[in-house]
Chains A and B, each alone.
Chain A
Amino acid sequence: MSTTQGPPPRQIVVVGNGMVGARFAEEVARLDPAGERVHVTVVGAEDEAAYNRVLLSGVVAGSYTTDQIRLPVPDTPGVTVRTGVAATALDTERRRLTLADGTHLPYDELVLATGARAAFPPITGVAAPDGRPGEGVTALRDLADCQRLLSLARPGAPVVVLGGGVLGLEAARGLVGRGMRVSVVESSPWIMRRQIDQPAARILAAQYAALGVTVHSWRVASRWVPGTGLELDDGRVLSGDALVVTAGVRGNIELAKDAGIEVEHGILVDDTLTTSEARVHAIGDCAQHPGGGAGLVQPGWEQASVLAQRLTGTAPQATYTGSSPLTRLKADGIELTAFGRVHDDEDAEGLETVTVSDPHGGRYAKLVVSDERVVGAVLLGFPEAAATVSQLFDTGAPVPADRLALVQGLPTAAPETGSENGQRALVCRCNAVTRETIEQAWLDGARTREAIADTTRATTGCGGCVRDVNALLSGLADTDTAGVG
């Protein structure tokens, strides 16, 4: 073993202890367990340890306690996590990060995983001029929001959800499950406008209605009146003790922008996840990659993995070229999966669309195929098909010929295989005993199951055919009696 001391580990500073920042640290810990190559310092503004933001709607629903959604903290010498301290300034010249407590962190590589925050629409009463939520209003981005929401509304109380996207619908499902009376307001023509088509949305809205959630699509809110509710542009007022705003997010890009790093709506990164500054990287919701992907956790985790491989040098050639995000609604009793090109014109060149609509059964399936590959789907109420179809999409594998069976989650019909590979109909598969053999044994005097077993071996394997053999024997006995009589 070599005893030469290598250079000290390179210093990586991660800004943001959310799902993506924490995942980056975890990936590094896995790739460099002894911390010989790099040392990672994660800086998080929240006092809380990292937790799983994806499950916040589950906390609202009461399915998870806040403790259950904590993320693993790498227990390795190569990772340090500092919570409750925000990063305030970034100096890319001197390669150091300034923290809210006035201290500085020098870095060799900086990773921005600052995430995003709720965007409050410019509606009277929703947000104060300083950006804080108005009275009775909350976003649903972090644990504090969750706690605020649960302190604002009790079972039986009316709650309005502003924004009928994935998070809004998950929150609505959770709240109605807790006994709240929930209305959802969506300014687009239909709910989950980005992910699903209108016929699917109509059936989905009906399912929500059946659960006690009223959905108001293509309605703009004009005013939030604390203690009363949300006033719509048509003058109606939706009663609400609380308003949950789930109307989009805004990337936390200020730190990068102030440091002169190129930003648009996010921090611009290339396939190496590097910003306009060579030693500064960005991943997750704050990053803007040409391949898209912000807003969902899976792309952020893929980015964390790629960047960890690059910065630990375990795979310096790794790149992120975009991902194919898939939406899976987490709402108790509603199975909805959607991804890809579901808004394309069905007559578009090279597209083949299978649609099944069953409003009565609350089911809808749309499968879009191009060049034998799944390129888009909406599956509402077909959980088994959803699992299969999303894997076909993920792996780019060709679709089976029987598209209808596929969207229904049914197995392909058995093929014609000619001679059945020479296999006869067996009563006892373990010992390859046919009905004819058993009948012959009976004719030769074997009248009990045990005697049949001794002569033919039937029933001595897994024993699964005992019932069949007994039935065969009693049938033979009946025939025999009839014959004698």
Chain B
Amino acid sequence: MTPGQSTTTHCPYCALQCAMHLDTGPDGHLTARPAPFPTNRGGLCRKGWTSTEVLTVPDRLTRPLMRKDRDAPLTEVDWDTALDHVAARLNALRAESGPDAVAVFGSGGLTNEKSYTLGKFARLALGTSQIDYNGRFCMSAAAAAGNRAFGLDRGMPFPLTDVAEAEVVLLAGANPAETMPPMMGHLSAPTLIVIDPRQSGTAQAALDNGGMHLAPRPGTDLALALGLLHAVHVQGWTDTDYLHARTHGFDDAWRHAAAWWPERTEQVTGVSATQLRRAADLLGRAARNRSAYVLTGRGTEQHAKGTDTVSAWINLSLALGLPGRRGSGYGCITGQGNGQGGREHGQKADQLPGYRRIDDPAARDHVASVWGVDPATLPGPGRSAFELLDALGTDSGPRAMLLFGSNPVVSAPDADRVRDRLASLDLLVAADFVLSETAAMADVVLPVAQWAEESGTMTNLEGRILRRAKATEPPQGVRTDLQVLADLATRLGQPAERFPTDPDTVLAELGRASAGGAADYSGATPDRLAAGEALHWPVRPDSAPTPRLFLDSFAHPDGRARLIPVAHRPPAETTDADYPLIATTGRLMGHYQSGAQTRRVPELTDAEPEAYVEVHPDTAARVGLAHGDWARLTSRRGHTRARVRLTPTARLDTVFVPFHFAADQAANNITNPALDPTSRMPEFKVSAVRLDPEPTP
């Protein structure tokens, strides 16, 4: 692109999808600056400001890499050699062990077009059921809970800007001040009730503005949500007319909440009965004015009871009469850039495009007809993300895996186990733009384009479909993910026209495949996107998009929302004399997910160069640790090291570690892969650990 040129697009990172201008400098390099847009209101966080630096990192991959065998180093090869090798190995493994011998692992960072094509590639070119993605580790619990309550999962079923007008916003396990700073602009007017074991930046903002911070012991959010429902009901804030007219199931849900009177809730959660009652009144009064929101984030969702916990928050919001009305509601704050779109178009083990179920015969017929195949040839549901990773290289599991846009050896729970599984594969292929920790383990690495080097669409946390524009050419030798999938598909015997490489062509096909589904994109055309229309799905041709869902009815056949009866249960593992503390993991402002991108940006990595552990001064002193010391955290699964950061506001029983760092500083070395029975979400947020000084080498 020529110097002086400017392209308006969206940020490569989180689901806020802030708008930005990418300006081409005299040296041809791009720089980012904020652009006006409803979600970011002209703001950007430091990840966004520095996002273009990832395009030109010194270790950017520009040629395919391959190794002869596991012990040999990766060496540069040409594309044909790499692709021919991959195709030949895949064919051989499929011939030996059947189509499910090959797995595909995708990402909530991929565009809608890529997510869609990846799912299609798995089902048609590979015929495998073994496809899932890292979104399981993000929003799956809230998605499952949203589906069972409302019959539909769109993270926020209303525009984010609505939230700014509310009197009260309850944030359960969400820390936007750190993870999505520009979102805080929408939260400056409402009184906030922040639920977080840590006094996070968001909790501090709440306190500074006359709001509340409730700090439950990690793993007790479900009890807290039941306790709040109890207090709300007893204090007279339940909207009985609404419950009667628009929902089912309050009585059964209440029976469980009835066992959580404030004093008992206090004992289990550590949140005082006084605070609980105050929070219930604050919320109840705002709900009476139809001016309150309940929003959940990963803190409350990433548990082995995540789905039930989110159901408890939804029950609370339904009891207050919030969902499906202007000015109030329940929403999940989706995390990954395309965490919303990524869970709708078929890269999930149980799904087909349009948020359709792969075991629904009508859905199979529809999608098969768009794809021009016999529905009987489509595989059925496969394993969920952690189960898939855990099965790799086992007798009954896949022998090869193709990885797109994910870095599971850093981001998946129980990282040592995941590394073992990946190492036992016959073939690991990674498409990435840098040699991430997982790509470094691969047999073949395919260098692919980055966000500003190609176009596509993303669906942000409000369910709004956005255009990502191409601002520059990819480096010589780099191909797009769509190109790579087409190259592989044709080598696997697929007709070339079945795997188009032009994103708009894919979008049009995705529109047809999703038409009539829950997440209907058929009206999301390039023209409407270019015109800047706010395309919240469902969006059909010749009809207006849907900024606010459920205003007339919920998506269950009878139009009513459901309160799901849920009971509290303790975390998957408890503390004991050997592992007396609870470790909880989370995110930092300067880094994104596994850090593969942000750890390569000098400004970001200078600010947070290494893992740290946030710990109460007394807890640290007890094991002889001072501020700045290196500590070792050991769980029943492994250990990680981090520098001590003394935090007087920390709970005495809880330490916090960010998970953006790798190898011996990877927080996921210690996390628990216990899975939620409904969503298969792992228990990232509660691990029993011991804190020790790091042994000097």
Contacts and interface: CB of A to CB of B under 8 A. Distances in A.
A331 B57 CA distance: 64
A326 B45 contact: no
A341 interface: no
A454 interface: yes
Contact of B270 (A388, A402, A415): A388
B33 interface: yes
A328 interface: yes
A68 B575 CA distance: 34
A463 to B, nearest CB: 4
Chain A interface size, under 10 / 10 to 19 / 20 to 34 / 35 or more? 35 or more
Interface stretch (A87-95, A203-211, A406-414): A406-414
B580 to A, nearest CB: 7
A390 to B, nearest CB: 6
Interface in A239-258: none
B526 interface: no
Contacts of A395: 575, 653
Contacts of B256: 72
B272 A460 contact: no
Nearest to A336: B263
B589 interface: yes
Given A68-B233, A394-B267, A457 B44 contact: yes
Contacts of B270: 387-388, 391
Contact of B266 (A387, A418, A457): A387
B230 to A, nearest CB: 9
Interface centre among B185, B255, B271 (most CB of A within 10 A): B255
A52 interface: yes
B607 interface: yes
A207 to B, nearest CB: 15
B627 A460 contact: no
9 contacts: A68-B254, A298-B267, A383-B272, A390-B267, A391-B653, A429-B589, A430-B45, A460-B45, A462-B181
Given A52-B258, A411-B649, A418-B627, A401 B621 contact: yes
B267 A326 contact: yes
B284 interface: no
Given A72-B252, A387-B272, A461-B184, 4 more contacts: A328-B266, A411-B649, A431-B49, A460-B42
Nearest to A401: B618
A464 interface: yes
Interface string A385-398: 01110111011011
Contacts of B565: 72
Nearest to A63: B234
B46 A461 contact: yes
B645 interface: yes
A67 to B, nearest CB: 9
A203 B86 CA distance: 79
A397 B652 contact: yes
Given A430-B45, A463-B188, A391 B646 contact: no
A64 B182 contact: no
A416 to B, nearest CB: 8
A454 B580 contact: no
Interface in B646-690: 646, 648-649, 652-653
B46 A430 contact: yes
B616 A64 contact: no
B176 to A, nearest CB: 8
A58 B567 CA distance: 22
A383 B575 contact: no
A330 to B, nearest CB: 6
B177 interface: yes
Chain B interface size, under 10 / 10 to 19 / 20 to 34 / 35 or more? 35 or more
A68 B580 CA distance: 38
Contact of A330 (B255, B261, B589): B261
B624 interface: no
Contact of A462 (B34, B182, B621): B182
A390 B266 contact: yes
Given A71-B255, A387-B270, A412 B628 contact: no
Given A68-B234, A72-B565, A335 B274 contact: yes
A461 B43 contact: yes
Nearest to B589: A430
Contacts of A461: 43-46, 181-182, 184, 589
A426 B660 CA distance: 23
A462 B44 contact: no
Nearest to B265: A387
Nearest to B581: A397
Given A401-B621, A454-B33, A64 B234 contact: yes
B617 interface: yes
A74 B23 CA distance: 63
Contacts of B261: 52, 54-55, 58, 330
A30 B567 contact: yes
Nearest to A393: B267
A386 B649 CA distance: 17
A335 B43 CA distance: 45
Interface in A426-481: 429-432, 454, 457, 459-464
A235 to B, nearest CB: 39
B599 interface: no
A421 interface: yes
Contacts of A73: 255
Contacts of A316: none
A43 B45 CA distance: 62
A417 interface: yes
A68 to B, nearest CB: 6
B340 to A, nearest CB: 22
Contact of A457 (B49, B176, B188, B255): B49
B43 A411 contact: no
A263 interface: no
Contacts of A52: 258-259, 261
Given A71-B255, A431-B45, A462-B182, A384 B217 contact: no
Contacts of B184: 461-464
B41 to A, nearest CB: 8
Contacts of B272: 335, 383-384, 386-387
Please list the 3 inter-chain residue pairs (A to B) with the smallest Cβ-Cβ separation, ordered nearest first.
Answer: A462-B184, A461-B181, A72-B255
A70 interface: yes
A391 B654 CA distance: 12
B15 interface: no
B205 interface: yes
B534 interface: no
Nearest to B575: A395
B618 A400 contact: yes
A69 interface: yes
Interface in A313-337: 326, 328, 330, 335
Nearest to B49: A457
Given A54-B261, A400-B616, A464 B205 contact: yes
Contact of B263 (A330, A392, A400, A431): A330
Contact of A464 (B44, B188, B645): B188
Contacts of A417: 627-628, 646
B258 A71 contact: yes
B44 A460 contact: yes
Interface in A39-75: 52, 54-55, 58, 63-64, 68-73
Contacts of A26: 567
Contact of B652 (A63, A400, A414): A400
B68 interface: no
Interface string A346-366: 000000000000000000000
A432 B601 CA distance: 15
B77 interface: no
A470 to B, nearest CB: 14
B652 A411 contact: no
